[in-house]
């Protein structure tokens, strides 16, 4: 069975948590596509060469969840040649037997426009910054500034900007528990799964 769930949204909206929960609930493979960009940024050097030579070992680095890696990812993700180099990897993963959940920023619009389910997980910048601050620490007002700057880069880049697909189900997690958000997303997936 090939069945793709595309989960998009800005940083700290809950898309990673929701995607992992959906993959576990429905027995689907999961790919956090942001890790690809984080790994390219973390490798340093020429980002295009880093993207072309990316291996699964690069995705296992223990520093990919840092704010530094997140910032580097957002910067290399605006480079069209980097995006092109990583597109095939993502599409191959999405087509694997048994189905897959991919989360990122352009899965439903660019990588898998024919995905059976498209979700766009969002929340206010303030809520997302607070979540990120709780996770990573630092000075909360600076975390908010970083979240807003990243949104600006991601939403206004020329190649594959962050936006919901026309047929995506939008879930705003600003005032939802994670359990409620997962339940809403799972209901959307269950409604489209083949019998």
Residue range 95-139, pLDDT digits in tens? 999 999 999 989 999 999 999 999 999 999 999 999 999 988 889
Contact call for residues 106 and 162 (beta carbons, < 8 A): yes
At residue 70, the pLDDT reads 83
How far is it, in rounded angstroms, from Cα 54 to Cα 52? 6
Q: Is the pLDDT of residue 159 over 80?
A: no
At residue 77, the pLDDT reads 84
Q: What rounded mean pLDDT belongs to the chain?
A: 92
At residue 167, the pLDDT reads 97
Annotated binding-site positions for ATP: 9-17
How far is it, in rounded angstroms, from Cα 65 to Cα 109? 25
What mean pLDDT do residues 161-190 have? 96
Please state the pTM of the whole predicted model. Answer: 0.85
Annotated binding-site positions: 9-17
Percentage of residues of the chain with pLDDT beyond 70:
100
pLDDT band at 4 (very low <50, low <70, confident <90, very high): very high
For the record, the structure tokens of 184 come out as 């809403």
* Count of structural domains, the chain: 1
At residue 74, the pLDDT reads 82
Domain holding 91: CATH number? 3.40.50.300
pLDDT band at 73 (very low <50, low <70, confident <90, very high): confident
Instruction: Domain of residue 141: give its range.
Output: 4-192
At residue 55, the pLDDT reads 81
């Amino acid at each position: 069975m090939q069945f793709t769930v595309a989960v998009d949204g800005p940083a700290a909206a809950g898309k990673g948590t929701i995607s992992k929960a959906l993959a576990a609930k429905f027995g689907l493979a999961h790919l956090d596509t942001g890790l690809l960009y984080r790994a390219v940024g973390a490798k340093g050097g020429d980002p295009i060469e880093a993207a072309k030579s990316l291996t699964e070992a690069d995705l296992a680095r223990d520093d990919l969840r840092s704010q530094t890696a997140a910032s580097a990812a957002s910067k290399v993700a605006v480079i069209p040649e980097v995006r092109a180099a990583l597109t095939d990897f993502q599409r191959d993963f999405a087509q694997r037997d048994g189905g897959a959940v991919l989360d990122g920023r352009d899965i439903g619009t660019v990588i898998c426009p024919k995905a059976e389910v498209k979700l766009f997980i969002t929340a206010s910048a303030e809520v997302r910054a607070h979540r990120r601050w709780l996770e990573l620490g630092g000075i909360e007002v600076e975390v908010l500034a970083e979240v807003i700057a990243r949104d600006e880069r991601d939403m206004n880049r020329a190649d594959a900007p962050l936006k919901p697909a026309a047929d995506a189900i939008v879930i705003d997690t600003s005032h939802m528990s994670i359990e409620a958000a997962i339940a809403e997303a799972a209901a959307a997936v269950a409604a489209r799964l083949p019998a």
